């Protein structure tokens, strides 16, 4: 909400020297967020006057139209007269101008030599286009009034040449830009800001809504409200005999411009002005275009309406619409319809007579905030009216706003207010709140006392009765005040948040992180230490990415949990895997020139089982019971925690030290091992086929849980079809693993390895097995057979060839033996090695290569 200080002074008698910065400090202390104070006209200096164009000479021979104008600037122009005569000669000024939107006789704004325009642009007499220009004819953009630089300002004819244009156009002013929070809808009006300013300064308020309003009668324009829930008040007034050539006066246009609105036409400008002044949105209908009685109802599904922005909208059955006998003529509280809009004044080409709207019906209504908010979001159509209605508008201001609009139209357009007044009101009792007088004291920890509490509540418009227990009637313009804590907040903010004592809370001693939280942190640190960068992605996906992954129709990752109100129509569901978000982040990085990328993410995925019960609706007037909370949790989908990584490019850069190393499926597998080690789990790795990985370069990551091997994740290189569909680099690798399974499989305690001071003995063995035998099975047999002296086992070579025979492969392992308390003898090393080979032979049919 933009608030011109000059307009604010109409309602509050601020001290003469008070600036916008001073008012800003007061309002901020009262709890309003004043973002900026714009100083209009900063650096502007006169003389800046009204001039009348006497003659225009078109200059030829230039690429653009150039006009040499003679302008009467009153007593402001010319050289000084003889001594004792006083004032200027009043001689016309000759000015070169490139604009063509004015004619002889028009009144314009002239900056004379010695003036300075905003931005430090000094005006002087200078020769240009072969003529001497004695000033400048100004546009709105050059004066800082608007962004329009196309044409100069043409003023109404009633202003005399020589009139001070700085004062006339109110070019010097302070404008406060206030960010109004959703609970303070009353501050989206000059009336609301003026009330807060008056309270902050301790000054009386001249309420612009205190008008003499005629009583409703049966002679008004017919109105039928079919939905009294969506519209509980509707006031209609009619004004006839409007002058179609009447224009908004300068003061009205300038106030709209300072408030951030564009002047359109007199009738529209008046409704916008009253909305800014009182906070009540209004709409003016061309009476000749309205067919019969005005109605308020819910739309029929599929009805169509063309709104003022020229867009045809298909209406929903929940939309509240304004109608006449022909159908919808407006989207209630959001935007009017094009069929009944105010017609611009235009001359009839045959008769030359100016035609336009001469009769209007004024609508001032109060609509349900929820209904308006849903309609505006449904049609993606936010307007000044909808912003106010969805935050709460004073329902009792409708008649005053309609009266103010009628008065301005009669005053400015020469219209006549018809005696008929239509007012439809659904009865409702004022909202009252009961609270102890010391409730604000207990909330703030400060003793205010009953008198202070009552005074502050009365200042915001409440009626207060009672002694120890107060009965407070909330004013109609404050729908946000619903319970005692709201009233306490009002007292505290008006007394000053800065006056609250600074005391630190004393929370109860915690029990530290849970084992689940510690695992989560350890995994993140381990992956970061291994060179991965954490990426936090939105947990939303669409069906398209699952198609690009090549997932089968019965794949569990296609059982999506769809959102009722998604942020994006292309991603309407919760993720069932972490990979889409990570791969999208990798693609963005590669597209920005980062070709060597390693990213990781830890977080929840969402898997629907189909057996979840319907969600219960929790109460809003009291805390839900434990049973209700449990029932709500039971309706949620399963949400396992996962960790995932994606890699592309080079694992080691090339340089003078040698060739680089590209990432491979083995790096993705190692990332899974890094994660598992943080849970105290040694992974079992087997070959697998799982989308979206390459069928020949995909590993299944298994762990032993409750004595049984279970799949905890997959790792490997992505299928070429997937990388092409997603626009990823070739040989992109990925890993995804479930942390909940690892936590169950682990011991919960990660112990630092014991480092023996005794020497290590390394023995290499090459075992020949069938190609169907998994290397993980051979490794497990070697570990079991070698016993406690085996420190580690590592597969360092896999070989296949004709000399081994068809269906055979050679697996070469490095066995490291070490004792914690002694140096091993050759006999002990040989015995452990032979025992390991024996168990491998028994379990997997392995034979020593070359034996």
Angstrom distance (rounded) from CA 516 to CA 748 = 9
Determine phi and psi for 51, rounding to 5 degrees.
-130, 155
Instruction: Give pLDDT, residue 831.
Output: 92
> Quick check: bond before 5 cis, omega within 30?
no
Instruction: Give pLDDT, residue 534.
Output: 96
For the record, the structure tokens of 644 come out as 């995932």
CB 810 within 8 A of CB 802: no
Instruction: Give pLDDT, residue 85.
Output: 29
| CA 772 centroid distance within chain | 56
Q: How would you classify the pairing of strands 540-541 and 573-574?
A: antiparallel
For the record, the structure tokens of 597 come out as 């990328």
Any idea which residue has 């990415």 for tokens? 545
Instruction: Give pLDDT, residue 90.
Output: 66
| Per-residue model confidence as pLDDT tens digits over 98-126 | 888 899 999 999 999 999 888 888 989 99
DSSP characters for 126-148?
EEETTEEE-SEEPBTTTTTS-S-
Instruction: Give pLDDT, residue 142.
Output: 86
CB 641 within 8 A of CB 520: yes
Angstrom distance (rounded) from CA 277 to CA 281 = 10
CB 647 within 8 A of CB 662: no
* Residue 754 Cα distances to 376, 751, 757, 758, 821, angstroms: 66, 9, 10, 12, 12
pTM of the entire predicted model: 0.67
Angstrom distance (rounded) from CA 810 to CA 709 = 26
For the record, the structure tokens of 9 come out as 């002074």
CB 209 within 8 A of CB 400: yes
Smallest CA-to-CA distance from 818 within 783, 836, 780, 792 is with 792
Percent composition of the chain: helix, strand, coil (DSSP 3-state, to 5): 30, 30, 45
Task: Flag residues of the chain having pLDDT under 50.
Answer: 79-89
Alpha helices in 303-425 (DSSP H): 369-378, 384-391, 398-413
Q: How would you classify the pairing of strands 597-604 and 533-534?
A: parallel
Instruction: Give pLDDT, residue 80.
Output: 33
3-class secondary structure per residue, 740-774:
HHHHHHCCCCCCCCCCCCCCCEEEEEEEEEECCCC
């Amino acid at each position: 909400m933009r608030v011109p200080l000059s307009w604010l002074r109409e309602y509050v008698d601020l001290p003469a020297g008070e600036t916008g910065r001073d008012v800003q400090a007061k309002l901020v202390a009262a709890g309003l967020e004043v973002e900026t104070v714009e100083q209009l006209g900063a650096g502007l200096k006169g003389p800046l006057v009204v001039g009348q164009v006497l003659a225009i000479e078109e200059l030829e021979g230039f690429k653009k139209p150039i006009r040499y104008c003679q302008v009467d600037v009153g007593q402001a122009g010319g050289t000084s007269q003889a001594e004792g005569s006083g004032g200027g000669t009043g001689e016309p000024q000759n000015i070169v101008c490139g604009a063509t939107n004015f004619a002889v006789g028009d009144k314009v704004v002239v900056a004379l030599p010695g003036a300075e325009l905003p931005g430090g642009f000094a005006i002087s007499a200078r020769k240009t286009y072969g003529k001497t220009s004695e000033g400048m004819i100004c546009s709105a953009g050059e004066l800082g009034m608007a962004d329009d630089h196309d044409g100069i300002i043409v003023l109404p004819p009633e202003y005399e040449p020589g009139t001070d244009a700085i004062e006339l156009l109110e070019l010097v002013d302070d404008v406060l830009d206030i960010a109004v929070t959703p609970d303070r809808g009353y501050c989206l009006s000059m009336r609301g800001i003026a009330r807060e300013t008056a309270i902050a300064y301790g000054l009386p308020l001249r309420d612009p809504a205190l008008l003499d309003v005629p009583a409703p009668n049966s002679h008004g324009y017919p109105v039928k409200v079919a939905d009294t829930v969506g519209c509980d008040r509707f006031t209609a007034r009619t004004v006839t005999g409007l002058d179609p050539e009447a224009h908004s006066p300068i003061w009205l246009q300038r106030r709209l411009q300072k408030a951030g609105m564009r002047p359109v036409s007199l009738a529209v400008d008046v409704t916008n002005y009253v909305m800014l002044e009182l906070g009540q949105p209004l709409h003016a209908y061309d009476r000749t275009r309205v067919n019969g009685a005005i109605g308020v109802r819910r739309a029929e599904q599929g009805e169509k309406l063309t709104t003022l922005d020229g867009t045809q909208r298909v209406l929903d059955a929940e939309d509240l619409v304004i109608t006449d006998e022909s159908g919808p003529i407006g989207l209630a509280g959001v935007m009017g319809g094009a069929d009944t809009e105010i017609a611009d004044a235009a001359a009839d080409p045959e008769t030359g007579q100016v035609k336009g709207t001469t009769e209007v019906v004024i609508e001032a209504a109060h609509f349900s905030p929820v209904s308006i908010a849903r309609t505006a979001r449904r049609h993606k159509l936010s307007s000044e009216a909808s912003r106010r209605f969805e935050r709460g508008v004073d329902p009792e201001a409708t008649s005053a706003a309609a009266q103010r609009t009628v008065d301005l139209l009669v005053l400015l357009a020469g219209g006549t207010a018809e005696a008929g007044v239509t007012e439809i009101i659904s009865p409702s009792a004022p909202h009252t709140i009961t609270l102890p007088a010391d409730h604000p004291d207990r909330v703030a920890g400060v003793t205010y006392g009953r008198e202070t509490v009552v005074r502050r509540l009365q200042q915001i418009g409440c009626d207060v009765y009672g002694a120890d227990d107060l009965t407070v009637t909330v004013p109609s313009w404050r729908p946000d005040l619903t319970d005692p804590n709201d009233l306490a907040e009002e007292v505290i903010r008006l007394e000053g948040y800065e006056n609250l004592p600074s005391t630190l809370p004393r929370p109860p001693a915690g029990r530290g992180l849970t084992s689940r939280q510690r695992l989560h942190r350890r995994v993140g640190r381990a992956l970061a230490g291994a060179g991965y960068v954490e990426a936090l992605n939105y947990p939303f996906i669409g069906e398209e990415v699952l198609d690009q992954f090549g997932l089968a129709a019965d794949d569990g990752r296609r059982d999506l949990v769809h959102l009722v109100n998604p942020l994006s129509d292309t991603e309407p569901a919760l993720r069932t895997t972490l990979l889409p978000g990570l791969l999208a982040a990798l693609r963005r990085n590669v597209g920005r020139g980062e070709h060597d990328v390693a990213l990781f993410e830890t977080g929840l995925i969402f898997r629907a089982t189909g057996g979840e019960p319907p969600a219960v609706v929790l109460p809003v007037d009291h805390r839900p019971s434990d049973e209700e909370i449990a029932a709500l949790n039971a309706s949620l989908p399963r949400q396992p925690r996962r960790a995932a990584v994606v890699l592309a490019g080079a694992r080691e850069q090339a340089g003078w030290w040698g060739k680089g190393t590209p990432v491979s499926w083995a790096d993705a597998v190692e990332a899974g091992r890094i994660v598992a080690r943080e849970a105290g789990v040694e992974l079992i790795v087997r070959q697998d086929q799982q989308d979206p990985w390459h069928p020949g370069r995909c590993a299944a990551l298994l762990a032993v849980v409750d004595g049984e091997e279970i799949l905890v994740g997959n790792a490997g290189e992505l299928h070429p079809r997937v990388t092409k569909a997603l626009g990823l680099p070739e040989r992109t690798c990925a890993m995804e693993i479930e942390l909940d399974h690892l936590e169950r499989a682990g011991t919960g305690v990660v112990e630092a390895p014991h480092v023996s001071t005794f020497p290590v003995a390394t023995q290499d063995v090459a075992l020949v097995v069938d190609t169907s035998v998994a290397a993980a099975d051979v490794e497990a047999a070697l570990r079991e057979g070698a016993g406690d002296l085996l420190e580690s086992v590592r597969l360092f070579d896999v070989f296949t060839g004709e000399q081994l025979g068809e269906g055979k492969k050679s697996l070469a392992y490095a066995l490291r033996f070490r004792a914690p308390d002694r140096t091993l003898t050759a006999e002990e090393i040989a015995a452990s090695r032979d025992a390991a080979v024996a168990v491998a032979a028994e379990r997997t049919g392995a034979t020593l290569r070359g034996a």
